[in-house]
Amino acid sequence: MNTNYQLYQKHLKKISDIGFAAAVLQWDQETYMPPKGAALRAQQLATLSGLVHEHFTDEKLGKLLDELIKDTSLSDKEFKNVMHTHKDYYKQKKYSTGFVEEISRTVSETFQAWHQAKINNDFKSYAPFLDKLLTLKKKECELLGYENHPYDAMLDQYEPGAKSAHLKILFNDVKANLVEFVKQIAQKPQNADAFMFAEYDEQKQWDFSLYLLKQMGYDFEAGRQDKSSHPFTTHFNAHDVRVTTRVNKNDLNEIIWSTIHEGGHALYEQGLPITEYGLPSGEYISLGIHESQSRLWENNIGRSLAYWEYNFPKLQELFPQNLGDKTALDFYKAMNIVKPSFIRTNADELTYHFHILIRFEIEMALFEEKLAVNELPELWNAKYKEYLGIDVPNDTKGVLQDVHWSHGSFGYFPTYSLGSFYAAQFMHTATQQISNLEEKIKAGNLMPLLEWLRINIHQYGKQYLADELCQKISGEKLNFNYFMTYAKEKYSFLYNL
Amino acid sequence: MNTNYQLYQKHLKKISDIGFAAAVLQWDQETYMPPKGAALRAQQLATLSGLVHEHFTDEKLGKLLDELIKDTSLSDKEFKNVMHTHKDYYKQKKYSTGFVEEISRTVSETFQAWHQAKINNDFKSYAPFLDKLLTLKKKECELLGYENHPYDAMLDQYEPGAKSAHLKILFNDVKANLVEFVKQIAQKPQNADAFMFAEYDEQKQWDFSLYLLKQMGYDFEAGRQDKSSHPFTTHFNAHDVRVTTRVNKNDLNEIIWSTIHEGGHALYEQGLPITEYGLPSGEYISLGIHESQSRLWENNIGRSLAYWEYNFPKLQELFPQNLGDKTALDFYKAMNIVKPSFIRTNADELTYHFHILIRFEIEMALFEEKLAVNELPELWNAKYKEYLGIDVPNDTKGVLQDVHWSHGSFGYFPTYSLGSFYAAQFMHTATQQISNLEEKIKAGNLMPLLEWLRINIHQYGKQYLADELCQKISGEKLNFNYFMTYAKEKYSFLYNL
């Protein structure tokens, strides 16, 4: 093998070792760290992330990449790895130390201000901080550069290759089709779900969640589930991928769909090639594709009737008092209630995308200088009225609900919707290519689906961009129709439309 | 404050951040890591320890230290910190990269060979590896330098300032007094302890161990207890100090004394000044002093009658079937059975020191070139016959039992005995200085003792060497008589001598 390429690999693996060490510290912080440990843990994490930055912007790496990018002896996979790192290296190099520090300080201040403002329902005190951060982020767009729209520079951080022009079309489709469909559902009688909020023994819930993970094919020799206040997935390499979940004694929904959701993320990470550790070919493609894996399992599988035809009897056995007189169909209806609400994270599978649509439109307006920060609450509330038909009672339950903007994470929200839309498109193809998939799911056999995901998505790491992969799998680029078709078929049945 | 000193602090804190990040990864490895995570975890740990070495041997640090060591404006504490780091820096600088790699490779090979040899009871296959490692360690002594005895260079790594000449006197005292005393005990009827090995519910044992830690003053806001196959204590800063223990359904001894032992280590770490994080003044003095803290709690307190007069009724309540007809005195006798045995880690409080005596004499002979590696088993067995009066059945239960030599850790064993001897001397002073200490212990009030340890030992970090501290506390250097007096008083009562 090429000596330069070997040096490049060594350099990247070292950076990953440090970065994944930081990830272990973060996992510990969210699961087992005693409270007083927090202060010095933050300092230890800052040191590690400084080391990652230092090693990634090392001139020696730059020279190596400049030589490798012209090296015609590289294999296709090797070349793609070099290309990704080359791009990221020169992106990082565009940031001056001063700018990085200013952003980092401003994020920290904005986060504090947001935290207080949310408690006090006081957007005004928060607005100047957000305004300052937004100004810096706009500066960052200019720094990074873009072809057509400054927002594309933001998007590219989370969804490499994504363009706002394409997202506009996508979200116009959401507006044109999904808003109307949800209005039809609203006219129908609501399904019953009170039994989901009875008392459920926590240990039994926990055991059931482990059962679901095993059934999905999650490898407990290469991962584990713990509890944390917000469920998440993290990985330190493809052989150590961990999930967390939370148990609510009075809401069966929480553990079930958070476990399946995080399980979906984790199956992706466990399926990435361990031999490519530290290289782009061993990494996930984008947040949108990552989310496609969690949502495919959570919604397309985990909220399907076929899945519960097999699993509901097991659940019923655990909780005969609450579920003894219910059927898989009752359960299916209860887990798929469509109802507009204020809070994104509590939204159902359909109205969820209105929350994202609103954030996307607002972010675009901010980056196009068509909207000032102090006008945000008014526009937010107007859009919630328009798309969801609800009156936002206050900013805490409105524009202040999410942390993302206070982290400077503009361009992040759209990846949530992209995840669902990719999932629908992938499931469409999977259903065509796996014989009798639904029958297999009804028999509790999820392995053919996992195998399909492994072969078609996981094994490639970042060798394809999201759109390239989508084309390769389904024969076309991302197309909202797949989601709409899925939604119509499922919810027309559920609501007798 | 002095700018150079600030730079020095910053440099050391950064090194600690990396080192303690590695400690988090090691803790995770022993407690929660899924098995397949091991391979890449080892690589991540190697990268972090490489970074620690790189930063510690940085020429910039050397220059800073050279200036600071001549700086008369430093406070006494500051100067002592600089002095320790200066010494360690130039020690590290003596190692060539080639030598470090050779040692590291040889340790790895020797460890593998030992692991196999222990399984197969095959010392011969292991001897050449140990011989090679020993040769390198002797070379290391020459590299590091010493005044009187090469073994002092080994000792200094674990017990700064300790000398073999002094240890010889100490272990001669052990031979002259303790061997004789244990022979007297052996002639007396043995106390009953069968009830310790009845079946004890594991959850109740666990809960009781948490109760004991709380009672000792262990701060659960700044630490936690988990399970691992070998109990240990680790820390990431004074506000995050963790212990592990193990539960044996059929041996109540295991969890109780491992919890108290590790709890003693942890109280030391929690008591170190957090403001001195990363500096010698925020670190433990030596392994011997660390062990003095664990053994003081484990043996002088945890195996005392006063302690169990308060705690035995609580234990009895948890296990009425096993302990209902027993008294605190029965329990006290059962936990203090003196009986020669082959395995160091299972030894009682008295014969334990014969195991260390034997290892110390053998290590001295090896470094004085009076003993060849292939003669080890014969000498080992002869000494076990002489001091403990037992015939070692095979090398697996004899010379191959411990891992230390295969790690190259010569000079480590004596610190175990030093710990017990320091503990006895410290307890003697504490008993004089704390009014009615025994009464307080009988009332379950351990806080005055902890307070005494905090004030006299913990708060200083590494500002005094072990012997200086011992002098400061007790008015004299380490003196074996304190241990012997403690042993005679305690065991004369227990065995009616």
Q: Please tell me the pTM assigned to this model.
A: 0.94
Out of A21, A47, A220, closest to residue B14 by CB: A47
Check pLDDT > 90 for residue A138: yes
A246 plus A148 within the same structural domain:
no
Number of structural domains in chain B: 2
Domain-terminating residue out of B134, B158, B182: B158
> What is the maximum alpha-carbon separation in chain A?
69
Instruction: Tell me if B298 sits within 8 A of B484, measured CB to CB.
Output: no
My answer on whether B146 and B287 are in the same domain is no
A394/A343 same-domain check: yes
CATH number of the structural domain spanning residue B456: 1.10.1370.30
Distance CA B406, CA A140 (A): 55
CA-based nearest residue to B441, from B300, B306, B257: B306
Q: What is the 3-state secondary structure (H, E, C) of chain A?
A: CCHHHHHHHHHHHHHHHHHHHHHHHHHHHHHCCCHHHHHHHHHHHHHHHHHHHHHHCCHHHHHHHHHHCCCCCCCHHHHHHHHHHHHHHHHHHCCCHHHHHHHHHHHHHHHHHHHHHHHHCCHHHHHHHHHHHHHHHHHHHHHHCCCCCHHHHHHHHHCCCCCHHHHHHHHHHHHHHHHHHHHHHHCCCCCCCHHHHCCCCHHHHHHHHHHHHHHHCCCHHHCCEEECCCCCEEEEECCEEEEEECCCCCCHHHHHHHHHHHHHHHHHHHHCCHHHCCCHHHCCCCHHHHHHHHHHHHHHHCCCHHHHHHHHHHHHHHCHHHHCCCCHHHHHHHCCCCCCCCCHHHCCCCCHHHHHHHHHHHHHHHHCCCCCHHHHHHHHHHHHHHHHCCCCCCCCCCCCCCCHHHHCCCCCCHHHHHHHHHHHHHHHHHHHHCCCHHHHHHCCCCHHHHHHHHHHCHHHCCCCCHHHHHHHHHCCCCCHHHHHHHHHHHHHHHCCC
- Mean pLDDT in chain A? 97
CB B164 within 8 A of CB B172: no
* DSSP H or E segment with residue B245: strand B240-245
pLDDT at res. B97:
85
In tens digits, chain B (497 residues) has pLDDT values of 679 999 999 999 999 999 999 999 999 999 999 999 999 999 999 999 999 999 999 999 999 999 999 999 999 999 999 999 999 999 999 998 889 889 988 998 999 999 999 999 999 999 999 999 999 999 999 999 999 999 999 999 999 999 999 999 999 999 999 999 999 999 999 999 999 999 999 999 999 999 999 999 999 999 999 999 999 999 999 999 999 999 999 999 999 999 999 999 999 999 999 999 999 999 999 999 999 999 999 999 999 999 999 999 999 999 999 999 999 999 999 999 999 999 999 999 999 999 999 999 999 999 999 999 999 999 999 999 999 999 999 999 999 999 999 999 999 999 999 999 999 999 999 999 999 999 999 999 999 999 999 999 999 999 999 999 999 999 999 999 999 999 999 999 999 99
Q: For residue B191, what is the DSSP state?
A: P
Residue A169 one-letter amino acid: I
Query: In terms of Cα–Cα distance, which of B352, B328, B329, B330 is closest to B339?
Result: B352
Examine the domain organization and report whether B421 and B321 are in the same domain.
Answer: yes
Q: Identify the closest residue of chain A to B44 by CA–CA distance.
A: A17
Q: B233 has which bridge partners?
A: B243
Position B1 scores a pLDDT of: 66
pLDDT band at A58 (very low <50, low <70, confident <90, very high): very high
CA distance A450 to chain B (A): 20
User: CA-to-CA distance for B336 and B332, rounded, in angstroms?
Assistant: 6
Q: Are residues A164 and A149 in the same domain?
A: no
The SS3 of residue B225 is strand
- The values of phi and psi at residue B233, to 5°, are -120, 140
Answer whether A40 sits within 8 Å of B277, measured CB to CB.
yes
DSSP string, B389-444: ------STTTTTS-SGGGGT-TT-THHHHHHHHHHHHHHHHHHHHSTTHHHHHHTT
Strand order in the sheet with A233-237: A225-227, A240-245, A233-237
How many contacts, defined by CB atoms under 8 Å, are there between A and B?
107
Sheet with B233-237, side-by-side order of all strands: B225-227, B240-245, B233-237
- Give the number of other CB atoms < 10 A from CB of residue B401: 17
Phi and psi dihedrals of B181, rounded to 5?
-60, -45
Residues B173, B148: one domain? no
Chain B: give the shortest CA distance to residue A215, in Å: 18
Interchain contact A477–B (C-beta under 8 A) = no
List, in order, residues 6 or more apart from B360 with CB less than 8 Å away: B167, B171, B413, B414, B417
CA distance B6 to A472: 57
Residue A1 has pLDDT above 70, yes or no: no
Residue B226, helix vs strand vs coil: strand
Residues in chain B: 497
Q: Which helix (DSSP H) or strand (DSSP E) does residue B256 occupy? A: helix B252-271
Given the structure tokens 């490519």, which residue do they identify? Answer: A276
Which tokens belong to B215?
């009672």
Same domain, A393 and A477: yes
Model confidence over A200-236: pLDDT tens digits?
Answer: 999 999 999 999 999 999 999 999 999 999 999 999 9
CB B448 within 8 A of CB B434: yes
Both tokens of B492, joined, read: 């004369």
- From chain A, the residues in CB contact with B218 under 8 A are none
- Domain final residue, candidates B103, B129, B158: B158
- A82: closest CA of chain B, how far (Å): 22
Q: Which of B17, B48, B221 sits opposite A34 (nearest CB)?
A: B221
> Cβ A25–B22 below 8 Å, yes or no?
no
Give catalytic residue positions of B: 262
d(CA B268, CA B247): 24
* DSSP strand pairing (B240-245 vs B233-237): antiparallel
Whether residues A133 and A169 fall in one domain: no
Q: Do B34 and A220 touch (CB under 8 A)?
A: yes
User: How far is Cα A261 from Cα A213, in angstroms, rounded to an integer?
Assistant: 10
B110 to chain A, minimum CA–CA distance in Å? Answer: 27
Mean pLDDT of A176-198: 96
Chain A residues within 8 A of B58 when measuring between CB atoms:
none
- Using the Cβ of A365 and the Cβ atoms of chain B, whether some distance falls under 8 Å is answered with no
In A, residues 47-76, which contact B (CB 8 Å cutoff)? 47-48, 51
Query: Shortest CB distance from B34 goes to which of A28, A37, A223?
Result: A223
- What distance in Å separates the CA atoms of residue A173 and residue A182, rounded to the nearest whole number? 14
pLDDT at A97 (0 to 100): 85
Contacts of A239 in chain B (CB under 8 A): 34, 36-37, 39-40
pLDDT mean over A117-122: 97
Which residue range(s) make up the domain with A171?
Answer: 159-497
Residue A444 region, left (φ>0) first, then alpha (ψ -120 to 50), else beta? left
CA distance A17 to chain B (A): 5
DSSP-derived secondary structure letter, B374: G
Question: What are the residues facing A233 on neighbouring strands?
Answer: A243
pLDDT value at residue A304: 98
Residues B112 and B255 in one domain: no
**Catalytic center residues of A:** 262
The answer, for B475 touching chain A at a CB cutoff of 8 Å, is no
Last residue of a domain, one of A158, A178, A196: A158
Q: Is 80 exceeded by the pLDDT of residue A51?
A: yes
Portion 112-141 of B in contact with A at CB < 8 A: none
CB–CB of B224 and A47 under 8 A? no
SS3 call for B291:
helix
Token pair listed for A102 = 């200013």
Same domain for B153 and B166: no
- Looking at the structure, tell me whether residues B154 and B264 fall in a common domain: no
Work out the average pLDDT over A454-470. Answer: 98
Q: Judge contact between A8 and A65, C-beta under 8 A.
A: yes
A7-10 long-range contacts (CB < 8 A, ≥24 apart) are: A7/A64, A8/A61, A8/A64, A8/A65, A8/A68, A8/A81, A8/A82, A8/A85, A9/A278, A9/A279
Considering only the beta carbons, identify the residue of B18, B34, B51 that sits closest to A221. Answer: B34
| Claim to verify: residue B285 and residue B414 sit in the same structural domain | yes
